[in-house]
Amino acid sequence: MLVVVGTQLDQAPRFWDRSSEWYLPQVTAMMVSYADFHKSKSKRRAAMEIGLRGYLGVNDRILVYLDNGSFAFWRKGMERPINEYIEFVREAKPDWYPIPADYIPHPQLSTDKQRVLFDQTMEMNLEYGSQGFVPVVHAGDWLEEYLEAFQRYGLLSCAQIALGGLVPRLLSSRGSKSRREVVDAIKQTNECFNGGLHVFGIGGLGTLHLAASLGVYSIDSVGWRNRAARGLILLPGRGERSVVPLGNWRGVEISQAELKMIETCKCLACKRYGLAGLRAWNARGNSEGRGNGTSGFNRRAIHNLWTLLREADEIDAKLQSGEYYIWYRQHVTGTILPKLIEYALYRNGNF
């Protein structure tokens, strides 16, 4: 499964840049959002002049994915800049790009309003799905209608489709029920579709296992950054752990046994700076964590990213060799996740 590393424009750590301290050769695909270009005329113009690849300074080995920014525009209550996005895609030439806009039929809206949003997304799929833009469907009550419409209009023969709208479900207070719905949504979409399924916005270690167990082609995530900013690190086979208290966020404290895992971690950050490096504040020299330094953040972010990529490689290797079905039971800790993985494997016809 391809892990597309989501990042914010011009933000450290520059994992794709050979000249950076934080260059990670393991990365083969990255994603930036059109929303970041839309808010800066000069950046947008520069990327259109020299191409997105040149603007970012990535080498030929790395695929550049562009997100349409719909979720960000929606959160700000902005109109989707459809024509500007199309122009940007044409000039900046990303390797992968979804339809110009998609409109999540949020479950808290009335059925009529949801229907309007569903119809708007389908209009985009029908108009642009055959022009190289990747069609989008949303998890939730409308998924079946999307898939029926895709079947009716021949969109299931596209090389790729993307599944969105999962993040609100994963965060939902309905807990394990909503997580099962996420597994079902991925499974249902993949079943109807023979091409490569991309799933937007998942990428904690748990969801990585679920997506891979379900045969997803690619996922993207900015979770490695978000967690680092909140003082959280990822550990193989586990949920996130808190190594430094930042902001109002309180995660599960790292245990003594888990500290040993850091001592043997082979990522750039742990090798160079050790546990003390991961425990640094986001800001330099200020015990309250204020200021403009990013040292602790960069180290945690790179540790998280490295751990995510390594876990994905290991999952792929174990799935291929058939060892996964036994391995995950020892490797993945917690009570909910192993059961969900079992459910995903079962749903995927492996049991």
Q: Please state the closest distance from residue 291 (CB atom) to Zn ion, in A.
A: 24
Q: Please state the closest distance from residue 341 (CB atom) to Zn ion, in A.
A: 24
Q: Does 270 bind Zn ion (CB under 5 A)?
A: yes
Candidates 47, 163, 228, 267; binder of Zn ion (CB under 5 A) is 267
Q: Does 265 bind Zn ion (CB under 5 A)?
A: yes
Residues 23 and 17: beta-carbon distance below 8 Å: yes
Distance, C-alpha 64 to centroid of its chain: 14
Pairing of β 29-33 and β 232-234: unpaired
Q: Of the ranges 8-16, 43-51, 178-186, 270-278, which one interacts with Zn ion (CB under 5 A)?
A: 270-278
* Residue 260 parent element (H or E): helix 256-263
Q: Does 205 bind Zn ion (CB under 5 A)?
A: no
Structure tokens at 264: 């043997």
Q: Does 303 bind Zn ion (CB under 5 A)?
A: yes
Q: Does 268 bind Zn ion (CB under 5 A)?
A: no
Q: Of the ranges 1-9, 115-123, 302-310, 312-320, which one interacts with Zn ion (CB under 5 A)?
A: 302-310
Q: Does 308 bind Zn ion (CB under 5 A)?
A: no
Q: What's the farthest any 2 CA atoms get from each other in the chain? A: 61
Q: Which residues contact 210 (CB under 8 A, 6 or more apart)?
A: 182, 183, 186, 202, 340, 341, 344
Q: Does 63 bind Zn ion (CB under 5 A)?
A: no
Residues 32 and 9: beta-carbon distance below 8 Å: yes
Q: Please state the closest distance from residue 265 (CB atom) to Zn ion, in A.
A: 3
Measured from the Cβ of residue 44, the count of other Cβ atoms closer than 10 Å reads: 20
Q: Of the ranges 98-106, 214-222, 303-311, 330-338, which one interacts with Zn ion (CB under 5 A)?
A: 303-311
Phi, psi of 187 (to 5 degrees): -60, -45
Q: Which residues bind Zn ion (CB under 5 A)?
A: 265, 267, 270, 303
